[in-house]
Each structure stands twice: as C-alpha cells, then as structure tokens.
Chain A
C-alpha cells in the first residue's frame, strides 16, 4: 500500500520510499543533525531503538547524551522535558503507548500546556511528545486507546495525527521547530505503510488537506481512519458516488477554513474516527461543520466513530472499529432522495 497526499514523487535525490515509522526516524535524525538543542528520550528509545524501532540507530549515530533511555516513569519523562525546555533544549520524548501516557497527564495538562501562558511567553515549552496510539493491530488492553481528545481539549497544546509518511516527516520537523508544545500522535496501524517522503517538502502545522477529490459528500477523518475513508471512497466510486476525503491532520488547532470549504462544496459530511464518539474530536468536527456550513448542508452531519465502550479486545476489535461498510451506510443516510 502506498500512502501519499501528493502527486507521485519525482526522481529528486531528496525523495525516498519510507514506512511511516521510517519517516519519523528520518525526521528525528534530521532534526538532531540540524539543531544541537534537540534531544530524544523515553523508555527503550536508546539501544533498542524503541519498541516500534522508530528511534532505531539514533543513539549510535548521535550519542547517548542526546538519545537516551530514562527510568520507567512517564510523568518523570514529561516533567524533565519541561525543565529541559525551560533551559533552552528542544526535547522530543516518546511515551511508549497511548494508555501508558496517562501517568504524565498532570505534567502535560498543568505545565506543558500552560507554562508559556503562565509566564507570558517567557518560558515557551518548545517540545514534542510522541505517542503511538490507536487500534486495529490486535493489541491487548492498554495498547490501543485513541486518547487524542484529552490533548485536543487542552488549550496550549498543538495536536497532530498524520496519516502519510510524508506528513509524518514534514509535520514532525515542523513540530520540533515549533515554539509551542506538540502532542504528535502516530497511529500504530500506519507504522509499516510505505509512501514517498521528500525531506525538503515542508508541511505547516494546523493545516488540513484534501486527500481525495469528490463532489457528492465529504468524509472527514484523521490517522488510520483516513485510509478507511479512502477505501470507502473507492468503493463508492465504483457504485457511482463521488466522495471527497479530507485528512484534518491537525486536531488542534483545527483548520476550519479547509474543512468548511470542502463540506460547502459537497453539501454533505460524515466524520470518521476510531475514538469513542461522545465528547470527542469527531464531536467537535461535527459541531463546527453544523455551525459553519448549516445553510449548505443537504443532511445532518453524521459521525462514524468507535462505540462508547473501552477499546475492544483483539478478537472483537473488528466490530468496534469504523469500517468501509459502516461509513457507506452513513453516506447512504444523507438525504439523497430529497435532491
């Protein structure tokens, strides 16, 4: 499977085909090489290269002073990153799994997100918290949460969830360079999907992208759900319905302008996400589309999300996760007869 939002890459020397994990590794390496204040740390990120091998080879290349393992303490990792950012470093920390990030919640919400505001910009938290997240990989409990709403709800944080290797590379570089703290969510199901990566290409934070053009309805998604949406659009196309797919990429801030223009162009919208739908990023998207596009809409905005239950065990996750059929059922319900 090749994943990209862009036209097929040229043969430029800066382009290579990488997995999303490889793209993140490449971005970390390039950032470490470009800026001596960048440090990478977390659990198993050193010698092992991370449980997903995302930091493979970095400790050997950049030395254990800049890429290192910490004690097994998530609050400690993020709290220490706060202190490092106060003292001029740009830490990029890895929290090993979505649900293992929760011990760091107080540091993230009370300090990472608020320090810049508290000090009127004197101490900006220029740091990135990388979190592998999401299900669909047969993981057991505590390894498959979609925890993005906790972070996206917190003022002061920028929350990014890329779906292609190119966006993973470019947006991580932008995240590391950002003066603000960024929670960088890497969907585990996408780690091994390949796509072209041009290390010269820049993608700013805070911008959504139209991943597939279409005229009848807009599917709004992020992370691994973008793939499911693209598959659904493919099936729909064969059935004669043209679905547009928007990859929002930036969960905070949301790119209202791009989303609004896309939905207005089709007049119908389905929001897709695997997190439980209540009080979620999908809920916020649906509300904003309702507020901003009401007079353009032919039907109520529909949401296809995870159920409001704890993430399913491996043998039940296929019932939990939004799939192509569930998306197409939602599309079918968008008042087509009234046209």
Chain B
C-alpha cells in the first residue's frame, strides 16, 4: 500500500477538543463525539478513578500484592474499551485493569493476578480481552496474530493493542507494527505516553519528534492526541477503529498523558521527578475537564452525578468484598493446566505434594489433639 507522507505523519499538535478547564477548542481534524457518548465516557471515568483509588487502598491493607495504578490516565483506559464492539478484542498491559473492567470483566476477576491467586482470573473468550501482559510489548504481536486470523477467515474483528512509552523501545513493538502494516491488519496500537518507564523519562526511550512519528516508518498513520481529553481520545479511537474495520489497516495512536502515581506502590517516585511537575498534571485531570464541559453543555445534572457516584461506590464495594474474603487457592491447580492432559511426571509430582499435604494435615490434627489434652489436664 502506498501512502502520501502527509497522510501518515501526526499533526503538529495533539488532537484536542477541550482545554484544561473543559472549554471547547477549535479542533477541526475530527468530529466531536456526540454528547450521549461523552456522558457514557464520564460515567466510565468516575468508575475508573474509584477503581484506582480502591485498589491502591487495598494494597495498603495488604489485600492486593501490588497495583500499578492508571490514576490520571483514565481517559485512555476508557477510550480503549468504549469504541470496541462485543466481537472485538482488547490486548491490555498490567496497568490496564480499568480498561479490562471496561470490557465487562467482573472487577474481582480482574484482580486475581494482583491478589496472587492465579496468573489471570477471567475467561478471555467471554469478554474479548487477552490476559493482561506483563512482559512489555509482547502482547502487541499477539494482537497482530489475532487480527491476522480474523482476516484469513474474512471476519471484521478489530483489535486494540495497548502499551506504554517504554514498550515502544522493545523489539516486539517494532515487529508487531511492521507485521500489522505489511499484512494490513485491523489493529489499533494505543500507546499511553505517560512520560515514564518506572523512573526513566521519555527522552531516554526515543530521539524521535514523537512516538506517533514512528508510524510512517511502517507505512501506517500516526496520530497524537491529548491523553487527558476523553472527547479527543474517543474521536481518534473511533476513527482508527472504523478505518481498521473497513479494511484500511492499522493505526498508531500516541496519547499524551501522565502517570500521577508512582510506578507501583513499591516505587518511590520522589527520587526521579519534581512534585511541581506532578501538580501540573494533576491540574490537567481528565475527569474535571470532561465534567466541566458536560456541565456547561447542561448534560450532567446533579441527579446524574449522584447516580454515577453511587455506581462507582458499588464497584468499589464489589472490589472490597471480593478481596476481603479469604481465598485459599488449590495447590493441585499447579498441575492442572500445564498441558491439556497431565503427564505421568506431573501425576507423580502432584502425588508427592498431595502426600506431603496429607501428612501435614495429620500432624496438625495430632498437635491440636495434644494441645486439647494438655489443656484438659
């Protein structure tokens, strides 16, 4: 496929509909999404923020082992999931639990990985969501292969593949974009450029003018968008998804956003960035921006806000309930899914562990009987 360079290069400024205070700007490159969609997006944003806050709290309470928060990046999370049809697929990273839940995965199932019960807690086929990928950029290739299979069968499935700015330095990022472009696959690559790969700033990832500029090297369009402007993100993602569905091939979308929290609870971000910089981005909060706009448009009543808050609280309660319950994972699960059928070797090893467990249980039982006996004396 031959393209004019000008069609593939990103614009000089990111696509942006709303300024920091929620005032509409004169953006002509894309149509403004309808108010009804912005209302839905706002609802999703509030729920997303509440999930992030709740999960961070659950880490402090020791209920989650770790939580990489998308606080501040919720507009990207919402815009990744909302434009997809039910038959489409999302390929998320470890920081995208909110987008995973946005596709309909029950919050408790989305947290199974981070609470340490199993490596993934939902059925990917039921929701059209791949397991959250931890090794960077590896899932972008899965997304390309998934879309390739759909294309071979003549299906119009679209795949959204998510990654961060750090992942764009990985070899798999290059291989995935190249494959998707060469085969004209229906993949939208959404890069959340949040400024940091743990502590390493974007300047150490690339010398390119922007990450979206990389697209032209693969022969696909690159788009820069304000990652804290849900309206702009939805407009750009809809266009990219529509293009992919119509057979137009992949698009690279770079969303400029910011990771408000540290990388995870285990990280200390005071060692590598100024509080003033964080505060600047707090002021660009995606929720406040869309809320202001909807209020000015008279599209967000106090009653609606109450309803949205209640919905967000219900999701938070669901998360708390799920994680307060004591989970006792079954050790036999270790052997159940390695192969479709257990090998004789795995049968032997499970038999050994089962025997250990049985003996432990026996000696515990004997100990407690002994203690009771002592007490009786």
Residues of A within 8 A of B (CB): 39, 65-66, 70-71, 73, 75-76, 78-89, 91, 103, 106-107, 110-111, 114-124, 155-156, 158, 178-180, 206, 253-254, 256-257
Are B345 and A79 neighbours in the complex by a CB distance under 8 Å?
Answer: no
Are A254 and B340 neighbours in the complex by a CB distance under 8 Å?
Answer: no
Considering the chains assembled together, what is the distance between the CA atoms of A82 and B135 in angstroms? Answer: 14
Are B141 and A83 neighbours in the complex by a CB distance under 8 Å?
Answer: yes
B122 to chain A, nearest CB (A): 9
In-complex Cβ contact of B141 among A39, A76, A179, A256 (8 A): A76
Minimum CB distance partner of B150 in chain A? A87
Are A82 and B340 neighbours in the complex by a CB distance under 8 Å?
Answer: no
Q: Mark B134-146, 1 if CB is under 8 A from A, else 0.
A: 0100101111111
B120 within 8 A of A: yes
Considering the chains assembled together, what is the distance between the CA atoms of A78 and B171 in angstroms? Answer: 13
Are B131 and A106 neighbours in the complex by a CB distance under 8 Å?
Answer: no
B273 within 8 A of A: no
Q: Which of B130-164 contact A (CB under 8 A)?
A: 130-131, 135, 138, 140-150, 152-153
B343 within 8 A of A: yes
**Which of A88, A122, A180: most chain B CB closer than 10 A?**
A122
Considering the chains assembled together, what is the distance between the CA atoms of A211 and B120 in angstroms? Answer: 44
Total contacts A-B at CB 8 Å: 133
Q: How many residues of B contact A (CB 8 A)?
A: 39
Are B178 and A76 neighbours in the complex by a CB distance under 8 Å?
Answer: yes
B179 within 8 A of A: yes
B338 within 8 A of A: yes
Are B344 and A117 neighbours in the complex by a CB distance under 8 Å?
Answer: no
Chain A residues, CB < 8 A from B125: 122-123
Considering the chains assembled together, what is the distance between the CA atoms of A155 and B148 in angstroms? Answer: 28
Are A75 and B172 neighbours in the complex by a CB distance under 8 Å?
Answer: yes
A47 to chain B, nearest CB (A): 16
A36 to chain B, nearest CB (A): 9
Q: A75-B175, A80-B141, A123-B131 are in contact. List 12 more A-B contacts (CB 8 A).
A: A70-B179, A78-B141, A86-B142, A86-B146, A110-B138, A116-B338, A118-B131, A119-B123, A120-B120, A206-B343, A253-B343, A253-B345
Considering the chains assembled together, what is the distance between the CA atoms of A103 and B131 in angstroms? Answer: 23
Contact flag A83-B146 (CB < 8 Å), given A75-B175, A107-B141, A257-B344? yes
Are A122 and B124 neighbours in the complex by a CB distance under 8 Å?
Answer: yes
B101 to chain A, nearest CB (A): 18
Are B147 and A73 neighbours in the complex by a CB distance under 8 Å?
Answer: no
Chain A residues, CB < 8 A from B343: 206, 253
B30 within 8 A of A: no
Are A119 and B124 neighbours in the complex by a CB distance under 8 Å?
Answer: yes
Are A180 and B340 neighbours in the complex by a CB distance under 8 Å?
Answer: yes
Considering the chains assembled together, what is the distance between the CA atoms of A124 and B119 in angstroms? Answer: 15
B23 within 8 A of A: no
